Amino acid sequence: MKSHVKAVVIGGGVVGCSVLYHLAKAGWTDIMLIERSELTSGSSWHAAGGFHTLNGDPNVAKLQAYTVQLYKEIEEISGQSCSLHLTGGVMMADTPARMDFLRLAHAKGRYLGMDTELITPSEAKAMFPLMDETNFVGAMWDPVEGHLDPSGTTIAYSKAAKKLGAEIVLRNRVVELTQEVDGTWNVVTEQGTVKAEHVVNCGGLWAREIGRMVGVELPVLAMEHMYLLTEPMPEVEEFNKSTGREMIGVLDFKGEIYTRQERNGILLGTYEKACKPWSPVNTPWDFGHELLQPDIDRIAPSLEIGFKHFPGIEKAGIKQIINGPFTFALDGNPLVGPVQGLTNFWCACAVMAGFSQGGGVGLALSNWMVHGDPGFDVWGMDVARFGEWASLRYTNAKVRENYSRRFSIRFPNEELPAARPAQTTPLYDTMLANNAVMGDSWGLETPLWFAPKGKEPKDILSFHRSNDFGPIGEEVRATRERVGVTEIANFAKYEVSGPGTEDFLNRLMTNRMPKTGRIVLTPMINEFGKLIGDFTIAKAGEDRFMIWGSSAAQKYHMRWFEKHLPKDGPRASEVRIHRFDQTLVGLSIAGPKSRDLLQKLVDVDISTKAFRFMDFREMAVGGAPCMVNRITYTGDLGYEIWMAPAYQRLVYKAIKEAGEEFGLVDFGMRALLSMRLEKNFPTWFRELRPIYGPFEGAMDRFIKLEKNDFIGREAAAKEQAEGPKLRRVSFFVDAADADVMGDEPIWAKVGKDYGTVEKPHGYGAPRFDTSGEEVRGSKAAQGASAVRGIVDGDWRVVGWVTSGGYAHYVQKSMAQGYVPAALAEDESTGLFEIEILGHRRPARINVEPPFDPSGEKMRT
């Protein structure tokens, strides 16, 4: 065993071996994988070995597609077979709502280059004759599904990594991790200490324990999981013989089960409602190649539905039930990337579908470690996406919820109940008393909308417009015409102070820093010129700045700020960054009467000239010390008022009392988001993400290339000089009773004379190739209906929706998204269509925002 290496990967499951392979492939060969026992000694050896590409997050879906196509490569390099069976698979919908879900998934696939198809239950039965198709209303076929040998695949990764120069040490547990002042890690193992620049936690079932070695409680929990294997079945053998094909994989939403052929019989697994965590607090180190006791009673309700839907299986004898543990994060996606607050400590854990995701996780992490950036959009699995509120008990509740809903539909207006309320502001009870429907915003209870008096404050779940439509419209109209108040505690808030702060921010941000008492809006970009943040910054005093940003990105942004703090020279570590979390809360008032209202509560002049648009002041509001920004996301005259939580009730009460004469209303987040749509304002993580450049994101006026050198300046200058390939645009959509939700394809009638555009910063990117060659779906679909690809006559999929909804004041359905830049200013009618729930709806670009295009109302 070497004593010094560049990186140590802890854990020899499928994920650790994939990370090792990808690091070696990227050129880091001075690396070592340390495994406690033998390879696959965690959850990898007893996996059912299924793989598929579909994922709720299109970016994770792309990683899954990459994983599947990687297997041939590692087989070739290692000489080890993965026993790949690319059978294809179907998802079965038993209700119209589940069919809507499949339509959405299918539509997303159009610009991700996926060949899914919507097919009938009978077509599905032709590929899996054990089902009773009368239980279903429709299905979606995905050709890129199948199964493999989990151990063979893990070994193939490890052999390929070794061939490239990596070292693997078996039967050697890592027992402690310490770090020297210079950042070197001491990886203390049973066989001695290895010094490493980087440590990667691929501990699988023990990832939580490895996190604890460095003082981090990772939000990951192992759950018991069962699948059964039947005796050989004559029906299966007969099907194989008569068709020359293996039976396909089937996913049944209603039963929360998956099933497929295994040898001459069937494998059937369940995600049962009565699920059970395994080792909820500590994972025993002596757990090895053993299985857990099966508990057939627990999966009986799922089996009952399964046997009804697949009567062919009921008749077969059960040969074996496998029960094994594997890990999940709160939302079921992996935890990948550098851990905020630590140097060179990386995670690749909570990978619940190692054989669908392991390759993509390995690629993303190795890119990140070697090149400083994952290389594509990995927010959906970034370890920074959860905050401190994701404690051990929170994780336990949320993972159970996630497991029991593994194949359940999540409606766009659905808030999940487990582990709530976690964080609340002092106004929580008041908001409930006001009949608010609350939502979870990064662990914080936040009012979404207010139900009318006498009505139950509850969403009716739907893909279509629902019971919040009318009340949100009222909130919007009252705010636009009079004045409204809303809670904004769910923004991220930071104070950056100390000598050198302005230089530090100027180096990080694309816009110039404001003068004292003024505010600027500014994106932040990385070295590759991609958007990694969007902030409101106020200069509160000499060497003191207040920053507001996206709540969900707090750890993500702190990680970036900390990485770029001045480390050398006289200014080293003089800059201090404080993240407030919920120690600073806020209220926003907006609408034409908001100034009259605020003037009643303050003792200073806030007339247009005295307190201008984009001004910042510290002032007492209703007697409470506050910071006030003359700015609002609704696009009206308005103010953001920030205070310590102890004052929030006082300020709210004062606003409510003073607002009575102006007809003040409470409004929630959904009204706020509706109002920003009619101003064409973008949102972080929807319109603005690390795959877009600032000019693609239409953030031109905030990019000051001439101000000073800043991170990403060169790349941004290049983007500007060459012209962005894509452009963020806003649409009016001729929608019926459903608006866009995000990720819908945008079609354009552009004929054949249009160039090629790729979704940037990804691999195997969705290609909008309009060279004339028709892109067709799966030829493997046995007996499936004709395919609708991304080309349909003169119509082509040219882009994707990022978000949208109903803009209540202008009374139009609106959407934002990305299209090729050459089309971005074309407001012609008949040029675009946006696919909503399987129906293509006419859409028209609106270059100017429909509400107050000149911005006069904000400035008055």
Ligand X SMILES: Cc1cc2nc3c(=O)[nH]c(=O)nc-3n(C[C@H](O)[C@H](O)[C@H](O)COP(=O)(O)OP(=O)(O)OC[C@H]3O[C@@H](n4cnc5c(N)ncnc54)[C@H](O)[C@@H]3O)c2cc1C
What residue ranges bind ligand X (CB under 6 A)? Answer: 10-16, 34-37, 41-44, 46-51, 173-174, 202-206, 210, 225, 227, 322, 324-326, 349, 351-356
630: closest CA among 641, 618, 652, 614? 614
Q: Are strands 4-10 and 192-201 parallel, antiparallel or unpaired?
A: parallel
CB 591 within 8 A of CB 638: yes
355 or 580, CB closer to ligand X? 355
Please, what is the minimum distance in Å from the beta carbon of residue 559 to ligand X?
A: 22
Q: C-beta of 764: minimal distance to ligand X in Å? A: 20
Among residues 19 and 784, whose Cβ is nearest to ligand X? 19
Given the complex with ligand X, which of 37 and 120 has the nearer CB atom? 37
Q: How far is the CB of 638 from ligand X (least distance, A)?
A: 48
Q: Which is nearer to ligand X, 58 or 360 (CB)?
A: 360
Residue 504 DSSP SS3: helix
Helices (H), 79-204: 96-112, 121-127, 150-163
CA-CA distance, 599 to 735, in Å (whole number)?
41
User: With contact defined as beta carbons under 8 Å apart, do 500 and 492 qualify?
Assistant: no
Q: Which of 100, 81, 197 is nearest to 149 (CA)?
A: 81
- Least separation, in Å, of the C-beta of 237 and ligand X? 23
Token pair recorded at residue 530: 């991609």
- Provide the minimum distance between the beta carbon of 327 and ligand X in the complex, in angstroms, as a whole number: 7
The first and second tokens of residue 132, run together, are: 């009773």
Is 566:500 a contact under the CB 8 Å cutoff?
yes
| CB of 347 vs ligand X, minimal distance in Å | 10
Nearer to ligand X, 349 or 641 (CB): 349
* One-letter amino acid of 22: H
Shortest CB 381 distance to ligand X, Å: 13
Pick 328 or 376: Cβ nearer ligand X? 328
Amino acid at site 573? S
Query: By the 8 A CB rule, do 666 and 447 touch?
Result: yes
Q: In angstroms, give the least distance from the CB of 111 to ligand X.
A: 25
- Residue given tokens 């013989």 in the structure block: 241
CA–CA separation, 91 and 229 (whole Å): 20
Q: Choose between 203 and 523: whose C-beta lies nearer to ligand X.
A: 203
Whichever of 34 and 436 has its CB closer to ligand X, that residue is: 34
CA dihedral 44, 48, 53, 54 (to 10 degrees): -110
What is d(CA 172, CA 170) in angstroms, rounded to the nearest whole number? 6
- Our CB check for ligand X shows the closer of 354 and 457 to be 354
d(CA 620, CA 603): 8
Alpha-carbon distances, residue 850 vs 53, 685, 696, 730, 807 (angstroms): 39, 23, 21, 10, 10
Q: Which two tokens stand for residue 514?
A: 């404001």
Can you tell me which residue has the tokens 């600073």? 584
For residue 44, the SS3 value is helix
Q: Which two tokens stand for residue 704?
A: 């000051």
Q: 213 or 790: whose CB is closer to ligand X? A: 213
- Distance of closest approach, residue 552 Cβ to ligand X, in angstroms: 25
Nearest Cα to 419, choosing from 388, 447, 396?
A: 396
Q: Which is nearer to ligand X, 75 or 133 (CB)?
A: 75
CB of residue 407 vs ligand X: minimum separation in angstroms?
A: 13
Using the 8-state DSSP alphabet, how is residue 821 labeled?
G
Between the alpha carbon of residue 326 and those of residues 47, 131, 207, 659, 713, the distances in Å are: 9, 29, 11, 54, 44
150 or 338, CB closer to ligand X? 150
